[in-house]
Amino acid sequence: MLSAEGLTLGYGGEPIVPDLDLRVDEGEFVVIVGPNGCGKSTLLKALGRVAKPMRGRVLLHGADVRGQRPKAVARALALLPQSPLAPEGITVRALTARGRFPHHTLLRQWSPEDETAIADALALTGLSELAQTQVGSLSGGQRQRAWVSMVLAQDSPVLLLDEPTTFLDIAHQYDLLELFAELHRKGRTVVAVLHDLAQAARFATRLVMMRDGEVVADGPPSEVVTADRVRAVFGLDCDVISDPRTATPLVIPHERSAAREAEGLDRGPRSDGRNRTHVG
């Protein structure tokens, strides 16, 4: 359904993602994980036709997305960017309604189908009662759900989600991820960037782990999330156990202070020439 071939991405002529290949099949729930700056958000933007590749191409149903009409691409896939900005004064309902624009043509303008899609999106995100509220007056979590509502109203078979749980408290994070999982079970293809490894492993059918612009592991969460790989990719010593409720991988970090002391980072002479004094 969606694939990257020889994709090189970057800014100012400097590549961030070099020569990457990735294939997303219909009906998958793919989660991309990796440390900050590894290129996962840039990759998602390229898949959504927002970032232009330096080299290579992104294919949607076998055709280069750069050669397809923007509205046609938007009907096929919906992108939730990271930390989007809403126009001043726009209401939750008006923002959600923008998700319907790709379905409009000169011959087909506003319709009852649009009204239904907007109402359904607001209900799914729990924002029906805030429909006439200005987005700028909402809390960070409510604003994030308003953007998700717009993406859902777009009613595209592929969802590209860049850190969709940003600003949400833990309960709303799981509400939203369970919503995406339900949409996936009903046939949507989902590609998401997440930071929380436990959440990624719990909801993904497939994990893609990146480091320095490259894919270092790709497969079922139980195979991708290992203690050695978390240490190599994130620099975090940990134990990986099986979640007692879901049997998915659960990362238990080791104490960071102990790790630093073991590496000698808390010992030795100071840069100003004075030695540290340890108490106890």
What CATH code is carried by the domain that includes residue 220?
A: 3.40.50.300
Task: Assess if residue 241 is contained within a domain.
Answer: no
Nearest to 203 by CA among 218, 192, 211: 192
- 64, 103: one domain: no
What is the pLDDT, as a whole number, of residue 272? 45
Q: What is the largest CA-CA distance in the chain?
A: 79
State how far the Cα of 93 lies from the Cα of 118, in Å rounded to an integer.
7
- 222, 106: one domain: no
- 52, 169: one domain: yes
Which has the higher per-residue pLDDT, 107 or 130?
Answer: 130
Q: How confident is the model at residue 256 (pLDDT cuts 50, 70, 90)?
A: confident
Number of domains in the chain: 2
Task: Assess if residue 78 is contained within a domain.
Answer: no
What is the pLDDT, as a whole number, of residue 99? 95
Q: What angle do CA 87, 91, 95 make, to 5 degrees?
A: 65
What is the pLDDT, as a whole number, of residue 14? 84
pLDDT of 188 strictly over 70: yes
pLDDT of 214 strictly over 80: yes
Query: What are the start-end ranges of the H helices in the chain?
Result: 40-47, 70-76, 92-97, 112-124, 140-153, 170-185, 197-203, 221-224, 227-234, 256-262
What is the pLDDT, as a whole number, of residue 269? 47
- 182, 47: one domain: yes
Length of the chain: 280
Task: Assess if residue 46 is contained within a domain.
Answer: yes
Of 100, 120, 155, which one is at a domain's C-terminal end?
A: 155
In which domain, by residue range, is 220 found? 1-68+157-236
Residue 204: alpha-carbon gap to chain centroid? 12
Quick check: 8 and 18 in contact, CB under 8 A? yes
Q: Residue 227 has which token pair? A: 């203690």
- 179, 130: one domain: no
Residues 202-210: what's their mean pLDDT?
Answer: 97
Other beta carbons within 10 angstroms of residue 81's beta carbon come to 17
pLDDT of 208 strictly over 80: yes
- Per residue in 65-111, pLDDT (tens digit) is 999 999 999 999 999 998 788 889 999 999 999 999 999 877 678 88
User: How does strand 206-211 pair with strand 214-219?
Assistant: antiparallel
pLDDT of 218 strictly over 90: yes
State how far the Cα of 149 lies from the Cα of 97, in Å rounded to an integer.
9
Q: How confident is the model at residue 25 (pLDDT cuts 50, 70, 90)?
A: very high
pLDDT of 193 strictly over 80: yes
Task: Assess if residue 211 is contained within a domain.
Answer: yes
Task: Assess if residue 251 is contained within a domain.
Answer: no
- pTM, entire model: 0.86
- 175, 205: one domain: yes
Task: Assess if residue 246 is contained within a domain.
Answer: no
Q: Residue 186 has which token pair? A: 């009903």
Task: Assess if residue 226 is contained within a domain.
Answer: yes
Give me the chain's average pLDDT, please.
90
Which has the higher per-residue pLDDT, 160 or 261?
Answer: 160
Secondary structure letter of residue 163 according to DSSP: S
pLDDT of 37 strictly over 50: yes
Task: Assess if residue 274 is contained within a domain.
Answer: no
